[in-house]
Amino acid sequence: MILGVSIYEILSLTTILFFIGIYGFFTRKNLISVLMSIELILNATVINFVVINKYMFPEKLEGAIFGIFIIAVAAAETALAIAIIINLYRQITSVEVDDTTTLKY
Amino acid sequence: MSFSSLLIMRHEMLLLVLILLLIAGEIFIPKHKKSSLVHLAIFLFGIHTAVGFLPADTETLFGGSFRTNDMIHLFKNILNVGVLILLLQSADWITDKLIGAEKGTEFFILLFSSLLGMYFMISAGDFLMFYIGLELSTLPVAALVAFDAGKRKSSEAGVKMILSAALASGISLFGISLLYAATGSIYFDVMAISMTSSSLSILGFVLFFAGLGFKISLAPFHFWTADVYEGAPIPVASFLSVISKGAAVFILLILMFTVMRPLIDAWQNMLYAIAILTMTIGNIFALRQKNMKRFLAYSSIAQAGFILLGLIAGTQLGASSIIYFVLIYIFSNLAVFGVVQAISNKTGLEHMDDYNGFYRTNPMLSLIMLLGLFSLAGIPPAAGFFGKFFLYTAAASEGYYLLVFLAVVNVTISLYYYLIVLRAMFIRTNDHPIPYFKNSLYMRLGLALTVIGILAIGMYSPIYEYIHSISSLLN
């Protein structure tokens, strides 16, 4: 619990973070930035879990543990995504979204 | 917890042992004998599939995170049979393309890891296990899609797959966190009791649905499908469209019928719209495809729309018809993908016009393609007819007549584009048709199994009766 901060304020923050992530995913032109937007979404979720656990159901630790697992899996996901992006970069020497349009329609 | 309780996780344990054995094989088998790894992997997986059919107990482990019963065992067995057929069909491709590049073992390990993730996803008793299973089943497949490291298309498909998968799982997780706020638990059993139809839980459910909708490639989340299927190697595209989709349908079925049951009024309306959209979009886009892989991608989107017909009914009949349909879908789609792969292995051709006059040179393969496509379209002698028929019955018995009518219209459209392929093969003539070729033993075995499956499942009614009796475990 943080003194003087209610759950509504924190949940508003995470919701804003979440939608910034969604917006970034659809508008960024660089694959790495797209990946960063996804990280924003995941981090919003982690805060959500921890805060809901702490403020609403403090008797069990389910939410906090879920948060730890999300962080771990997100790291694996990012590593794999970067590996694949580097693999693409080797062939087209670009990480721009506009250059990945061989497969279309 | 004792040793015997680990035997409950028999499927997972055996598959893990199999993965470790393959790693040992990669280390100890000398370089010029690496092709024996393919035989080893297929042989071991065959044993694993056979052992899976032994009867199992109903049990929960790890304080309710992992649960198993007869129905979940059936799901795992269905997936096992699918993967076995897939391995048999792709044995040639692995031997030719991967063993030389020293990537054969990686392929098996990634494929089996993904299957392991699906086991955990299906057996999950809480959302944490479900999430880990979902990620474990998605991430290796993304690596597999980008497996043709030298090809631009493959890397591009890999990027598209991993980024959309990450977005879908992120949105899904946000939904799970809202569901957690609404119910105070992440355990399915507890959530099913304390779930009420409030705005918060409905918002959470809608966001959560996006993640699974992505895996099943339902209409608003289907954009990755065609691109990824086209860029991926054919065995991987086949895995995505058959096994990965099947596993996601199974867990969606379990969740909708148990945890989300209190929200049924909300999700029936939602599924109504999604089902119509998915069927129509899949069919209309399939009409104009000339590349076989893209064509099959849109056809599999359309098929996913039909699966929702059983889900929307929300009854035991709906559940059993979904399981039955997925079983048939696995066999029919593997038959079609098997033929496409056999042709692509020998000639490298994937375009529909290349198939002109194929029946005159390779009648057997053409007939298997005919059977597979008839089963997908739902023409009576093939099992697909019965699968679709039960889905319609389930939806109509709950009063969704308009939806069933639209589904029938869509089946008619789908019949048209399935027949385009058959017209190319049987009626059109070609000055330079694909010459006759003989398939290897593995490929022939894989195709024969699909043919037996398509014919037997439709004719032999005890299979449906068994599925129907077992699906009562859901309620």
pLDDT tens digits along B43-64:
999 999 998 888 877 788 888 8
Cα of B156 to nearest chain A Cα, Å: 6
CA dihedral B9, B14, B19, B20 (to 10 degrees): 100
The whole-number pLDDT of residue B475 equals 62
Q: Note whether A52 contacts B186, CB cutoff 8 Å.
A: no
Q: Which domains does chain A have, with CATH numbers?
A: 8-94 (1.10.287.3510)
Percent of chain B topping pLDDT 90: 43
Residue B97 DSSP one-character state:
I
> What's the one-letter identity of residue B223?
F
Q: Chain A within 8 Å of B456 (Cβ-Cβ)?
A: no
Q: Scan for tokens 């038959």, then name that residue.
A: B335
Q: B284, B269, B282, B289: which is closest to B353 by C-alpha? A: B289
Residue B178 with chain A: CB contacts under 8 Å: 48
Which residues, including other chains, have CB under 8 Å from residue B14's CB and lie 6 or more apart? B48, B51, B52
B228-to-B167, B223, B314 alpha-carbon distances in Å: 16, 9, 32
**Average pLDDT of B432-443?**
84
Residue A25 with chain B: CB contacts under 8 Å: 163, 167
- Let me know: does B33 contact B93? Beta carbons within 8 Å: no
The whole-number pLDDT of residue B222 equals 87
The whole-number pLDDT of residue A105 equals 60
Mutation to test the A interface, candidates B159, B186, B290, B350, most A Cβ within 10 Å: B159
Q: Note whether A21 contacts B127, CB cutoff 8 Å.
A: no
Q: Residue length, chain A?
A: 105
Q: Chain A within 8 Å of B149 (Cβ-Cβ)?
A: yes
The whole-number pLDDT of residue B140 equals 93
The whole-number pLDDT of residue A18 equals 93
So where are chain B's domains? 3-474
* H helix intervals, B146-197: 152-183, 188-194
pLDDT in tens, B387-424: 899 999 988 988 889 999 999 999 999 999 899 888 88
Cα of B20 to nearest chain A Cα, Å: 21
pLDDT in tens, B179-190: 999 998 899 888
Q: Chain A within 8 Å of B246 (Cβ-Cβ)?
A: no
How many Cβ pairs within 8 Å bridge chains A and B?
A: 114
The CA distance from A46 to B399, in Å, is: 42
Token couple for B452: 């037996």
